[in-house]
Amino acid sequence: MSIVNLGLQSVGVMRKGGSSESEAVITKCNNMKQLRKLAEKQPSLVDDVLDSIARVKILLSDLMIRLELKGKPFGVYHSASTTDIEDVWNSLLQVDSSLKFGEKSLKTHDAFMDHCCQLRHYSFSIKKCGAIDCTVCQPPRLPSATFCKLHFIPDPVPQADGHYKCFEDVYGTTTTEDVRNVNLMVQCEECEMWRLLYSPHKLTSTARQELSALLEDFTYTCGATLSDLELPTISSEVCLSAVIQLRNYIFL
């Protein structure tokens, strides 16, 4: 069982009731999407909801900061405030003043995304095309020789020894997204660097749970692979058949 589950054992939470008017409105919403839409029409509802869940947030935060993983306490991070969002939005307007808050699609934005961007599961890269007469992106200010050495961030590329190719070997080459992580990580006991687990095949929820349980007792050091583990027969078939390998987190 995960540390978070243990920390929440026998804990019950319930938000504080608001005014009768706000409660009558809130109970009509079935999900957060409906609640957000309603808050756009009734701004006062935002403060009522935040006040209603304030004690719950404090309780859960107090519980989380008491938990530890390998001697290190958990951290609690607060969501962005309205001021924070406005600051980011004002920064975006300096880049493109034609942007409108709430719009999900713009012709200029879509053209820029298709022309200058590479969207991947693990990365998002932006690079100008380099053409002087381009109508989408402005000409690069770097010297031509330097600009030609810039490329999109490559995808992780596995090699035969159970590890991944170095960044220098794949940078500037054409790569694909054939390998993705399985939403699990391990930490090196020596350098404390976090590593992601990858698989060229999608794991089932059962396989991911089995693998997560096995990793709780797994002491990892840089350079190891899952083939070094002595796994039970069933778990070996589930996990090793997926050819899961360890990859440096910072490579993404």
**pLDDT over threshold 80, residue 247:** no
pLDDT digit string (tens) for 175-227? 887 776 667 777 888 888 877 776 666 667 777 777 777 777 777 777 776 66
Residue pair 193/248 in contact by the 8 Å Cβ criterion: yes
- If asked whether residues 243 and 196 sit together in one domain, one would say yes
Can you give the pLDDT at residue 211? 73
| 229 pLDDT higher than 70 | no
Domain-located, residue 183: yes
Hey, is 26 helix, strand or coil?
helix
**pLDDT higher than threshold 50 for residue 1:** no
Same-domain status, 179 and 121 = no
pTM (predicted TM-score): 0.43
The β-bridge partners of 117 are: 126
Question: Does residue 34 lie within any of the structural domains?
Answer: yes
Task: Supply the pLDDT for residue 235.
Answer: 47
Query: Quick one: 139 and 94 in the same domain?
Result: yes
Last residue of a domain, one of 104, 119, 147: 147
Does 101 have pLDDT greater than 60? yes
Q: What is the mean pLDDT of the chain?
A: 78
Tell me, yes or no, whether 197 and 247 share the same domain.
yes
Evaluate if residue 236 carries a pLDDT over 80. no
Last residue of a domain, one of 73, 93, 112: 73
110 domain-assigned? yes
What pLDDT does residue 225 have? 65
Longest dimension (CA), the chain: 68
As for how many domains the chain has, the answer is 3
**Domain-embedded: residue 124:** yes
Looking at the domain assignment, is residue 154 inside a domain?
no
Q: Which one-letter DSSP state was computed for residue 121?
A: S
Q: Are residues 113 and 87 in the same domain?
A: yes
What does the pLDDT read at residue 37? Answer: 86
pLDDT score, position 87: 92
pLDDT of residue 146: 92
The answer to whether residue 234 scores a pLDDT higher than 60 is: no
Comparing 129 with 159, the larger pLDDT belongs to 129
Closest CA to 52 of 16, 28, 13: 16
* Residue 17 predicted with pLDDT over 60: yes
List of residues 6+ apart from 176 with CB closer than 8 A: 155
| 152: in domain | no
Instruction: Map 210-242 to HEC letters.
Output: HHHHHHCCCCECCCCCHHHCCCCHHHHHHHHHH
The verdict on 31 and 88 lying in the same domain is no
pLDDT above 70: residue 153:
yes
Range of the domain at 177: 167-251
pLDDT at 240 over 50: no
Q: How many CB atoms lie within 10 A of CB 52?
A: 17
pLDDT at 110: 79
Residue that terminates a domain, selected from 119, 147, 175: 147
Residue 11 lies in a domain: no
Residue 157 lies inside a defined structural domain of this protein: no
Q: What digits encode the pLDDT tens for the residues 58-90?
A: 888 988 898 988 888 888 888 888 889 899 988
Q: Which residue has the higher pLDDT, 228 or 5?
A: 5
